[in-house]
Homo-oligomer: A and B are copies of this chain.
Amino acid sequence: MARKATIREVAERAGVSVGTVSNFVSDKKPISPSTRERIESAIRDLGWIPNAAVRVVKGGRSPVIGFLIPDSSNPFFTEVANGIEDVAIANGGLVITCNTAGEAQREAHFAKSLSEMRVAGAVFTEMTASDQHVEQLVASGATVVLFGLSEHARVNTVSVDDELGGFLAGQHLVERGCRNIALLGGPGGEPQLRRREAGIARALTPAHRTEFRRLDAQDNSLKARVAAATEVLRRDPAPDGIICGNDQIALAVLAAATAQGIRVPQDLAVVGYDDIEAASLAAVPLTTVRNPSHEMGRLAAKMIIERTVGDRIALEPELVVRRSTSP
Protein backbone atom coordinates (compact mmCIF):
# COMPACT_ATOMS: atom_id res chain seq x y z
CA MET A 1 0.00 0.00 0.00
CA ALA A 2 1.87 3.03 -1.27
CA ARG A 3 0.21 6.38 -0.69
CA LYS A 4 -3.47 6.42 0.08
CA ALA A 5 -5.81 7.14 -2.78
CA THR A 6 -7.70 10.44 -2.90
CA ILE A 7 -10.96 11.45 -4.44
CA ARG A 8 -9.04 13.09 -7.28
CA GLU A 9 -7.36 9.86 -8.28
CA VAL A 10 -10.68 8.09 -8.18
CA ALA A 11 -12.16 10.78 -10.40
CA GLU A 12 -9.32 10.54 -12.91
CA ARG A 13 -9.50 6.77 -13.10
CA ALA A 14 -13.26 6.87 -13.58
CA GLY A 15 -12.93 9.68 -16.11
CA VAL A 16 -15.21 12.03 -14.19
CA SER A 17 -14.76 15.11 -12.02
CA VAL A 18 -14.19 15.06 -8.29
CA GLY A 19 -17.54 16.70 -7.79
CA THR A 20 -19.26 13.76 -9.41
CA VAL A 21 -17.44 11.32 -7.22
CA SER A 22 -18.42 13.37 -4.20
CA ASN A 23 -22.03 13.34 -5.34
CA PHE A 24 -21.76 9.61 -5.78
CA VAL A 25 -20.58 8.88 -2.27
CA SER A 26 -22.90 11.32 -0.58
CA ASP A 27 -25.74 9.91 -2.67
CA LYS A 28 -27.45 13.30 -2.74
CA LYS A 29 -27.59 13.88 -6.47
CA PRO A 30 -28.63 11.49 -9.21
CA ILE A 31 -25.81 9.76 -11.12
CA SER A 32 -26.18 8.02 -14.47
CA PRO A 33 -25.83 4.23 -14.30
CA SER A 34 -22.74 4.07 -16.52
CA THR A 35 -20.95 6.75 -14.54
CA ARG A 36 -21.95 5.06 -11.35
CA GLU A 37 -20.38 1.81 -12.47
CA ARG A 38 -17.11 3.42 -13.51
CA ILE A 39 -16.85 5.23 -10.20
CA GLU A 40 -17.63 2.09 -8.27
CA SER A 41 -14.90 0.11 -9.95
CA ALA A 42 -12.42 2.97 -9.68
CA ILE A 43 -13.03 3.09 -5.93
CA ARG A 44 -12.65 -0.65 -5.68
CA ASP A 45 -9.47 -0.74 -7.79
CA LEU A 46 -7.83 2.04 -5.85
CA GLY A 47 -9.14 0.91 -2.46
CA TRP A 48 -10.14 4.45 -1.73
CA ILE A 49 -11.27 5.17 1.83
CA PRO A 50 -12.82 8.64 2.18
CA ASN A 51 -11.24 10.91 4.76
CA ALA A 52 -13.92 11.74 7.31
CA ALA A 53 -11.86 14.57 8.79
CA VAL A 54 -12.60 16.81 5.84
CA ARG A 55 -16.22 17.13 6.80
CA VAL A 56 -15.13 18.27 10.24
CA VAL A 57 -12.68 20.83 8.90
CA LYS A 58 -15.47 22.24 6.84
CA GLY A 59 -17.50 22.99 9.92
CA GLY A 60 -19.28 19.68 10.40
CA ARG A 61 -19.22 17.59 13.56
CA SER A 62 -17.40 14.33 14.09
CA PRO A 63 -20.04 11.59 14.38
CA VAL A 64 -18.78 10.71 17.81
CA ILE A 65 -20.33 10.89 21.25
CA GLY A 66 -18.03 11.16 24.24
CA PHE A 67 -19.14 9.55 27.49
CA LEU A 68 -17.27 10.46 30.66
CA ILE A 69 -17.56 8.06 33.57
CA PRO A 70 -15.87 7.88 36.98
CA ASP A 71 -15.33 4.12 37.19
CA SER A 72 -15.12 1.78 34.23
CA SER A 73 -15.37 -1.28 36.44
CA ASN A 74 -18.98 -0.50 37.28
CA PRO A 75 -21.22 -2.47 34.87
CA PHE A 76 -23.94 0.12 35.32
CA PHE A 77 -21.96 2.53 33.16
CA THR A 78 -21.34 -0.17 30.60
CA GLU A 79 -25.08 -0.65 30.31
CA VAL A 80 -25.60 3.08 29.87
CA ALA A 81 -22.82 3.10 27.27
CA ASN A 82 -24.59 0.31 25.40
CA GLY A 83 -27.70 2.43 25.24
CA ILE A 84 -25.73 5.38 23.89
CA GLU A 85 -23.93 3.15 21.40
CA ASP A 86 -27.11 1.60 20.04
CA VAL A 87 -28.49 4.97 19.11
CA ALA A 88 -25.13 6.27 17.92
CA ILE A 89 -24.61 3.31 15.60
CA ALA A 90 -28.11 3.61 14.21
CA ASN A 91 -27.08 7.10 13.17
CA GLY A 92 -23.69 6.20 11.78
CA GLY A 93 -21.73 7.21 14.83
CA LEU A 94 -19.38 5.90 17.50
CA VAL A 95 -18.92 6.32 21.24
CA ILE A 96 -15.75 7.21 23.10
CA THR A 97 -16.11 6.11 26.70
CA CYS A 98 -13.69 8.04 28.87
CA ASN A 99 -12.78 6.67 32.28
CA THR A 100 -11.74 9.57 34.48
CA ALA A 101 -11.07 7.22 37.42
CA GLY A 102 -11.83 10.22 39.58
CA GLU A 103 -8.74 12.09 38.40
CA ALA A 104 -9.21 15.73 37.43
CA GLN A 105 -6.24 15.53 35.13
CA ARG A 106 -7.79 12.76 33.09
CA GLU A 107 -11.08 14.60 32.93
CA ALA A 108 -9.25 17.65 31.61
CA HIS A 109 -7.53 15.59 28.96
CA PHE A 110 -10.83 14.12 27.79
CA ALA A 111 -12.58 17.48 27.68
CA LYS A 112 -9.74 18.99 25.67
CA SER A 113 -9.48 16.10 23.23
CA LEU A 114 -13.19 15.73 22.66
CA SER A 115 -13.69 19.44 22.12
CA GLU A 116 -10.78 19.64 19.68
CA MET A 117 -12.17 16.66 17.81
CA ARG A 118 -15.44 18.55 17.44
CA VAL A 119 -17.48 15.62 18.66
CA ALA A 120 -21.21 15.81 18.05
CA GLY A 121 -21.90 15.49 21.72
CA ALA A 122 -20.71 14.59 25.18
CA VAL A 123 -22.46 12.87 28.06
CA PHE A 124 -21.30 13.64 31.58
CA THR A 125 -22.20 11.99 34.85
CA GLU A 126 -22.53 14.17 37.90
CA MET A 127 -19.22 12.81 39.15
CA THR A 128 -17.37 13.72 35.97
CA ALA A 129 -18.87 17.11 35.19
CA SER A 130 -16.75 20.01 36.35
CA ASP A 131 -18.26 23.31 35.18
CA GLN A 132 -15.17 24.21 33.27
CA HIS A 133 -15.13 21.04 31.22
CA VAL A 134 -18.83 21.07 30.51
CA GLU A 135 -18.43 24.64 29.32
CA GLN A 136 -15.51 23.68 27.12
CA LEU A 137 -17.57 21.08 25.29
CA VAL A 138 -20.48 23.47 24.90
CA ALA A 139 -18.12 26.11 23.53
CA SER A 140 -16.75 23.65 21.01
CA GLY A 141 -20.25 23.31 19.65
CA ALA A 142 -21.04 19.90 21.11
CA THR A 143 -24.48 19.00 22.40
CA VAL A 144 -24.01 18.22 26.08
CA VAL A 145 -26.10 15.93 28.25
CA LEU A 146 -25.66 15.61 31.98
CA PHE A 147 -26.94 12.69 34.03
CA GLY A 148 -28.17 14.59 37.02
CA LEU A 149 -29.39 18.14 37.52
CA SER A 150 -28.03 21.39 36.10
CA GLU A 151 -28.88 25.05 35.84
CA HIS A 152 -26.91 25.48 32.65
CA ALA A 153 -29.33 26.65 29.98
CA ARG A 154 -27.49 24.99 27.13
CA VAL A 155 -26.99 21.65 28.84
CA ASN A 156 -29.59 18.89 28.63
CA THR A 157 -30.23 16.69 31.63
CA VAL A 158 -31.47 13.17 32.18
CA SER A 159 -32.12 12.48 35.82
CA VAL A 160 -33.47 9.64 37.90
CA ASP A 161 -35.19 10.65 41.13
CA ASP A 162 -32.56 9.85 43.74
CA GLU A 163 -34.62 11.09 46.65
CA LEU A 164 -37.32 8.63 45.67
CA GLY A 165 -34.77 5.85 45.25
CA GLY A 166 -33.48 6.47 48.75
CA PHE A 167 -37.02 6.60 50.08
CA LEU A 168 -37.98 3.30 48.46
CA ALA A 169 -34.93 1.58 49.91
CA GLY A 170 -35.41 3.11 53.34
CA GLN A 171 -39.13 2.37 53.45
CA HIS A 172 -38.48 -1.22 52.46
CA LEU A 173 -36.01 -1.72 55.30
CA VAL A 174 -38.20 -0.03 57.85
CA GLU A 175 -41.08 -2.28 56.84
CA ARG A 176 -38.77 -5.25 57.28
CA GLY A 177 -38.24 -4.12 60.83
CA CYS A 178 -34.76 -2.64 60.54
CA ARG A 179 -33.97 -0.20 63.31
CA ASN A 180 -30.35 0.61 62.64
CA ILE A 181 -29.75 1.48 59.03
CA ALA A 182 -26.45 2.51 57.45
CA LEU A 183 -25.77 4.11 54.08
CA LEU A 184 -22.53 2.91 52.55
CA GLY A 185 -21.36 5.23 49.80
CA GLY A 186 -18.23 5.73 47.78
CA PRO A 187 -16.03 8.54 46.55
CA GLY A 188 -17.55 11.15 44.26
CA GLY A 189 -21.21 11.49 43.49
CA GLU A 190 -21.81 13.47 46.64
CA PRO A 191 -24.88 15.37 45.41
CA GLN A 192 -26.45 12.12 44.35
CA LEU A 193 -25.73 10.42 47.67
CA ARG A 194 -27.12 13.39 49.52
CA ARG A 195 -30.40 13.23 47.65
CA ARG A 196 -30.69 9.55 48.45
CA GLU A 197 -29.84 10.23 52.06
CA ALA A 198 -32.70 12.70 52.20
CA GLY A 199 -35.05 10.07 50.81
CA ILE A 200 -33.91 7.54 53.36
CA ALA A 201 -34.43 10.07 56.13
CA ARG A 202 -37.97 10.69 54.94
CA ALA A 203 -38.70 6.97 55.21
CA LEU A 204 -37.38 6.67 58.74
CA THR A 205 -40.41 7.77 60.73
CA PRO A 206 -39.54 8.65 64.31
CA ALA A 207 -42.31 6.32 65.39
CA HIS A 208 -39.97 3.50 64.51
CA ARG A 209 -37.12 4.91 66.54
CA THR A 210 -34.76 4.14 63.69
CA GLU A 211 -31.07 4.97 63.73
CA PHE A 212 -29.28 6.05 60.59
CA ARG A 213 -25.63 6.65 59.81
CA ARG A 214 -23.44 6.93 56.77
CA LEU A 215 -19.95 5.77 55.81
CA ASP A 216 -18.00 6.00 52.55
CA ALA A 217 -15.51 3.68 50.92
CA GLN A 218 -12.20 5.39 50.23
CA ASP A 219 -12.06 4.54 46.55
CA ASN A 220 -13.63 2.28 43.94
CA SER A 221 -11.45 -0.73 44.59
CA LEU A 222 -12.77 -4.01 45.90
CA LYS A 223 -10.39 -3.72 48.81
CA ALA A 224 -11.63 -0.33 49.93
CA ARG A 225 -15.22 -1.49 49.68
CA VAL A 226 -14.64 -4.56 51.77
CA ALA A 227 -12.74 -2.47 54.30
CA ALA A 228 -15.58 0.03 54.60
CA ALA A 229 -18.14 -2.77 54.81
CA THR A 230 -16.13 -4.48 57.53
CA GLU A 231 -15.96 -1.28 59.48
CA VAL A 232 -19.63 -0.52 59.27
CA LEU A 233 -20.50 -4.06 60.38
CA ARG A 234 -18.32 -3.72 63.46
CA ARG A 235 -20.14 -0.65 64.71
CA ASP A 236 -21.88 -0.78 68.00
CA PRO A 237 -24.79 -1.14 67.81
CA ALA A 238 -24.42 -3.27 64.68
CA PRO A 239 -26.53 -2.18 61.73
CA ASP A 240 -29.40 -4.48 60.81
CA GLY A 241 -29.83 -2.90 57.39
CA ILE A 242 -27.40 -1.41 54.87
CA ILE A 243 -28.23 0.62 51.79
CA CYS A 244 -25.35 0.84 49.34
CA GLY A 245 -24.31 3.48 46.83
CA ASN A 246 -24.19 0.85 44.11
CA ASP A 247 -24.49 -2.89 43.67
CA GLN A 248 -20.76 -3.47 43.69
CA ILE A 249 -20.53 -2.01 47.16
CA ALA A 250 -23.43 -4.26 48.18
CA LEU A 251 -21.54 -7.27 46.85
CA ALA A 252 -18.60 -6.28 49.01
CA VAL A 253 -20.92 -6.03 52.01
CA LEU A 254 -22.10 -9.56 51.31
CA ALA A 255 -18.51 -10.76 51.28
CA ALA A 256 -17.60 -8.89 54.46
CA ALA A 257 -20.71 -10.14 56.25
CA THR A 258 -19.94 -13.73 55.32
CA ALA A 259 -16.40 -13.30 56.57
CA GLN A 260 -17.73 -12.10 59.93
CA GLY A 261 -20.32 -14.84 60.20
CA ILE A 262 -23.18 -12.40 59.77
CA ARG A 263 -26.08 -13.99 57.91
CA VAL A 264 -27.91 -12.15 55.11
CA PRO A 265 -30.82 -11.59 55.29
CA GLN A 266 -31.43 -13.07 58.76
CA ASP A 267 -29.01 -10.84 60.67
CA LEU A 268 -28.58 -8.13 58.11
CA ALA A 269 -30.64 -6.79 55.20
CA VAL A 270 -28.69 -5.43 52.25
CA VAL A 271 -29.97 -3.14 49.51
CA GLY A 272 -27.90 -2.33 46.45
CA TYR A 273 -28.37 0.35 43.84
CA ASP A 274 -28.60 0.27 40.00
CA ASP A 275 -29.50 -3.41 39.46
CA ILE A 276 -26.55 -4.63 37.48
CA GLU A 277 -26.67 -8.19 36.20
CA ALA A 278 -24.43 -9.51 38.96
CA ALA A 279 -27.00 -8.39 41.54
CA SER A 280 -29.30 -11.25 40.65
CA LEU A 281 -26.41 -13.71 40.43
CA ALA A 282 -24.95 -12.92 43.82
CA ALA A 283 -24.47 -15.53 46.55
CA VAL A 284 -27.55 -13.96 48.08
CA PRO A 285 -29.45 -12.28 45.24
CA LEU A 286 -29.58 -8.57 45.92
CA THR A 287 -32.53 -6.37 46.56
CA THR A 288 -31.70 -3.18 44.74
CA VAL A 289 -33.01 0.09 43.38
CA ARG A 290 -33.05 -0.22 39.62
CA ASN A 291 -32.00 2.67 37.45
CA PRO A 292 -33.06 2.45 33.81
CA SER A 293 -29.48 2.31 32.54
CA HIS A 294 -30.04 1.43 28.92
CA GLU A 295 -32.88 3.89 28.58
CA MET A 296 -30.79 6.67 30.10
CA GLY A 297 -28.13 6.05 27.47
CA ARG A 298 -30.62 5.96 24.64
CA LEU A 299 -32.29 9.20 25.71
CA ALA A 300 -28.98 11.01 26.05
CA ALA A 301 -27.82 9.87 22.62
CA LYS A 302 -31.13 10.83 21.09
CA MET A 303 -30.77 14.36 22.42
CA ILE A 304 -27.37 14.60 20.84
CA ILE A 305 -28.50 13.27 17.48
CA GLU A 306 -31.38 15.74 17.51
CA ARG A 307 -29.19 18.59 18.73
CA THR A 308 -31.52 19.27 21.61
CA VAL A 309 -30.66 22.21 23.87
CA GLY A 310 -31.57 22.70 27.51
CA ASP A 311 -34.07 19.87 27.73
CA ARG A 312 -34.73 18.16 31.07
CA ILE A 313 -35.92 14.56 31.29
CA ALA A 314 -36.84 12.99 34.64
CA LEU A 315 -37.10 9.25 35.18
CA GLU A 316 -38.06 7.11 38.14
CA PRO A 317 -36.16 4.33 39.87
CA GLU A 318 -37.80 1.07 40.87
CA LEU A 319 -37.29 -1.16 43.88
CA VAL A 320 -36.43 -4.76 42.97
CA VAL A 321 -36.85 -7.08 45.93
CA ARG A 322 -34.69 -10.20 46.13
CA ARG A 323 -33.39 -12.47 48.87
CA SER A 324 -30.92 -10.09 50.50
CA THR A 325 -33.83 -8.44 52.32
CA SER A 326 -36.40 -11.25 52.39
CA PRO A 327 -36.08 -13.77 55.22
Task: Write the residues of chain A forming the contact surface with B, with a CB cutoff of 8 angstroms.
Answer: 1, 4, 47, 49-54, 56-57, 62-64, 72-73, 75, 78, 81-82, 85, 89, 92-99, 106, 109-110, 113-118, 136, 138-141, 222, 251-252, 255, 277-278, 280-283
Is the CB–CB distance between A110 and B138 below 8 Å? no
Known: A56-B53, A251-B281. A73 touches B75 (CB 8 A): yes
Nearest Cβ distance between residue A225 and chain B, in whole angstroms? 10
Nearest Cβ distance between residue A151 and chain B, in whole angstroms? 17
Which residue of B has the minimal Cβ distance to A82? B72
Is the CB–CB distance between B113 and A49 below 8 Å? no
Is the CB–CB distance between A82 and B99 below 8 Å? yes
Using Cβ atoms and an 8 Å threshold, which residues of chain B touch A51? Answer: 56-57, 116, 118
Which residue of B has the minimal Cβ distance to A278? B278
Which residue of B has the minimal Cβ distance to A136? B49
Tell me, in angstroms, the Cα distance from A89 to B97 when the chains sit together: 13
Is the CB–CB distance between B138 and A109 below 8 Å? no
Tell me, in angstroms, the Cα distance from A92 to B112 when the chains sit together: 10
Count of this chain's copies in the oligomeric assembly: 2
Tell me, in angstroms, the Cα distance from A98 to B94 when the chains sit together: 8
Is the CB–CB distance between B78 and A72 below 8 Å? yes
Using Cβ atoms and an 8 Å threshold, which residues of chain B touch A75? Answer: 73, 75
Which residue of B has the minimal Cβ distance to A62? B53
Between A and B, 15 residue pairs with Cβ closer than 8 Å are A4-B140, A49-B116, A49-B136, A50-B116, A51-B57, A52-B118, A53-B53, A53-B62, A53-B118, A63-B113, A64-B96, A72-B81, A94-B114, A95-B96, A282-B283
Using Cβ atoms and an 8 Å threshold, which residues of chain B touch A73? Answer: 75, 78, 277
Tell me, in angstroms, the Cα distance from A51 to B62 when the chains sit together: 11
Tell me, in angstroms, the Cα distance from A51 to B117 when the chains sit together: 6
Tell me, in angstroms, the Cα distance from A280 to B222 when the chains sit together: 10
Give the 8 A-B CB pairs with smallest separation, nearest first: A283-B283, A53-B56, A52-B116, A53-B53, A53-B57, A49-B140, A96-B96, A49-B115
Tell me, in angstroms, the Cα distance from A115 to B277 when the chains sit together: 34
Nearest Cβ distance between residue A50 and chain B, in whole angstroms? 6
Is the CB–CB distance between B53 and A222 below 8 Å? no
Tell me, in angstroms, the Cα distance from A52 to B96 when the chains sit together: 16
Known: A73-B75, A78-B72. A109 touches B89 (CB 8 A): yes
